[in-house]
Structure 1
Amino acid sequence: MELRKKSWDAIRYLRAQDDLPWICVGDFNEALFQADQSGGNLRSFNQMEDFRDFLAECGLADLGFSGYQFTWDNKREGDDNIQVRLDRAVCNGDFLSIFPETLVEHLMTEESDHQVILVRALETAPNEHARGPRPFRFEEAWTRHDQYDSMVEAAWMGADSGEKDIAAFCQRLARTAGSMQLWAREIFGSIRKQIKGLKA
């Protein structure tokens, strides 16, 4: 536990050094929710809350995944088997605004008790890239979520650089939009992809 907290403190320190787009991938040695574990005793709520607070402080959110849910397995049999999603990819809004189609895959391996985390950082499809940067797309469904108002307020306040010129204002709008997209991806997933899948 002490080593885990030191790792998180190191990431906090690094995050405070600049405002660049960020993605962090690997074993965070903690779950976000009880549903991230199968078997064993219930995880400590306070430890999971500490992990969620750490991600929020750094402006990082889970990118989701495809593949098997749990990334760590103690390799024991029967009732002694414990599996947990300890490994994940998280990023900030600036990263997602550059690579909005980023995909995360969990890949099985026999050589380790952890799965491999494969990240495909994708901007847009080639024909979209040829037309220029991907525009911000607002989904009306976002406004019906209980956290919407507080999310927008937090994103706007968090994007404040302290500068008052027009360039700083435009940058603040862009960062807020990136944070909104990141929140929407975590809460809703890709609504358009879901609709397309239902129509198929």
Structure 2
Amino acid sequence: MDQVVSNSNGKILLLWSNEITGNIQENGEQHIIGEFKHSDMPERFMAYFIYAKCKEHMRRPLWDRLLHFANRDIPWCTIGDFNVITNTEEKTSGIPYNMNKSLEFISVIEACGLIDLGYTGLPFTWCNQRAAQARVWKRLDRAMVNDKWLEVMPLTTIEHLSFVGSDHTPLTLEMVRKNDRHIKYFKLLHCWVDKDSFMETVQKCWDREVTGNPMWQLHQKMKRLTTTLSSWSKREYGDIYVKVKEFEEMIRKTEEKLVSNNTEALIQQLHLINANYIRYLKLEESILKQKTQLQWFKEGDANTKYFHALLRGRRRRLFLHKICTDNDTWIQGDDQIAHTACDYFKEMFTG
């Protein structure tokens, strides 16, 4: 490491190499806050390194500093020992936990717009190291990020390592930039089936001969059908969102003409444009409903948990960071995960 900073009471030691340029913005008893940039990343980011006090009232100045810096329009992450848990599942053994001790911390997390990154590895990060009957485990250490961070680095992961020479487990944070090569998946739009030519197009495409074993035939026909329907949709509808805007502009121009020249021909033309405009508006509404699955929310309270989970994870995409094989070996890396998955299913379907 090429650079080193210690906080005011020597409880936090921060080291980094020359691949990172850093500017320490605040150095306190319970935190170090800095703005950093890695040579491999175009974006700058904020990092808040935490070692919180044990007593609840002594942590309040730390929460105030987090809230003070929270409105920065920049990716930021806070990581370290917060000395408090967020739910009863983050503690095992000992006397029952009083959640009132955590309410202030939870409200700070919400106010700062932070999202817990989760973890892989051991479920707890601290142990009191006492005898078996009196031993207590808690998850006191964590990493949380804002939405901007997830937009730039959605693949960020946290791993809890093994306890070595401390009552806390080390945390490894891996930062990975966003992969812009997203796979665009085929989606069947509900409005297609109302078109008279839809079933005819599907039938003609499906009836075209494909040679090979039955599974290969199915795969090739499905692949061909997705391409055929995508082309068919472009011919029949075009870009629905663009069409809506085009018809809105046509209506505006026709209405302007009617002001100075109120003829029957223009009135008929406006009616025709309006009819097409309403048709495309309905198509747009149908697509939006399908995309957002609004019908899920019409059922009311049954979906409350799903709704809140959707809001909290609104910008967090799902990724496979690691998979575990039958012999309890963890595999990571896109290529290795793909190879292992292929081998697994190949063996499953060999029979």
TM-score category of the 2 structures, normalised to the smaller one: 0.5 to 0.7
The residue that corresponds to 2:315 in the other structure is 181
The Cα offsets for residues 138-187 of structure 1, whole Å up to 9 and x where unpaired, read as 896xx6752455677x78xxxxxxxxxxxxxxxxxxxxxxx6123xx6xx
One-letter amino acid matched to 2:58: L
Deviation of 1:21 after TM superposition, in Å, equals: 1.0
Q: 1:45 — aligned with what?
A: 99
Quote the offset at 1:86 in angstroms.
0.5
Cα distance in 2 between the residues matched to 1:90 and 1:135: 28
Deviation of the 1:48 alpha carbon: 2.1
Q: 1:148–1:22: structure 2 CA closer, same or farther, 3 Å change rule? A: farther
Unaligned runs of 5+ residues in structure 2 are: 1-55, 186-290, 298-302, 324-337, 345-351
CA distance in 2, matches of 1:45, 1:114: 22
Q: Could you say what the CA RMSD is over the residues aligned between the two structures, in angstroms?
A: 3.4
Hey, what's the Cα distance between the residues in 1 that align with 2:183 and 2:64?
35
Q: Which protein has the larger Cα radius of gyration, Structure 1 or Structure 2?
A: 2
User: 1:35: how far off?
Assistant: 0.5
- Would the aligned equivalents of 2:80 and 2:141 in 1 still touch at CA under 8 Å? yes
Hey, what does 1:6 align to over in structure 2? 61
Aligned-partner Cα distance in 2 for 1:85–1:198: 32
2:84 to 30, 36, 40: 30
1:166 matched to which residue of 2? Answer: none
Q: Which runs of 4+ in 1 moved over 4 A?
A: 134-140, 147-152, 189-194, 196-200
Select the residue among 149, 152, 171 that pairs with 1:117: 171
Local SS of the residue matching 1:119 = strand
Deviation per CA, 1:89-111: give whole Å up to 9, x if none. 10011101100111100112322
Alignment correspondent of 2:124: 70
What SS does the aligned partner of 1:6 have?
helix
Cα 1:62/1:12, change in 2 over 3 Å: same
Q: 1:57 aligns with which of 101, 111, 123?
A: 111
Aligned to 2:173, what secondary structure does the other structure show? strand
Match of 2:151 in 1: 97
Q: Distance in 1 between matches of 2:111 and 2:93?
A: 30
- Matched residue SS, 2:158: strand
Distance 1:36 1:149, change over 3 A: closer
Q: Distance in 1 between matches of 2:84 and 2:146?
A: 19
1:102, 1:108 → 2: CA distance? Answer: 20
1:108 to 129, 137, 162: 162
Where 2:79 maps in the other structure, the secondary structure is strand
Report the TM-score, using the length of structure 1 for normalisation: 0.67
Inter-partner Cα distance in structure 2 for 1:42 and 1:7? 26
- The one-character-per-residue Cα deviations of 1:22-56 (angstroms, maximum 9, x if unpaired) are 11110111111101001112222122222221101
Match of 2:304 among 122, 146, 149: 146
User: CA separation of 1:78/1:150 partners in 2, compared to 1, >3 Å: closer, same or farther?
Assistant: closer
Question: Residue type of the partner of 1:116?
Answer: P
In 1, are the aligned partners of 2:159 and 2:172 still within 8 Å (CA)? Answer: yes
Report Cα offsets for 1:121-149 as digits up to 9, x if no partner. Answer: 1124xxx45x4xx6999896xx6752455
* Greater share of strand: 2
Distance 2:64 2:108 in 1: 9
Q: Which residue of 1 aligns with 2:249?
A: none
Give distance in 1, aligned partners of 2:102 and 2:176.
30
1:74 Cα deviation after fit: 0.5
Matching of residues 149-168 of structure 1 within 5 Å: 149=307
Distance 1:56 1:136, change over 3 A: farther
Question: SS state of the match for residue 159, structure 2?
Answer: strand
Q: Matches of 2:84 and 2:320 in 1, distance apart? A: 28
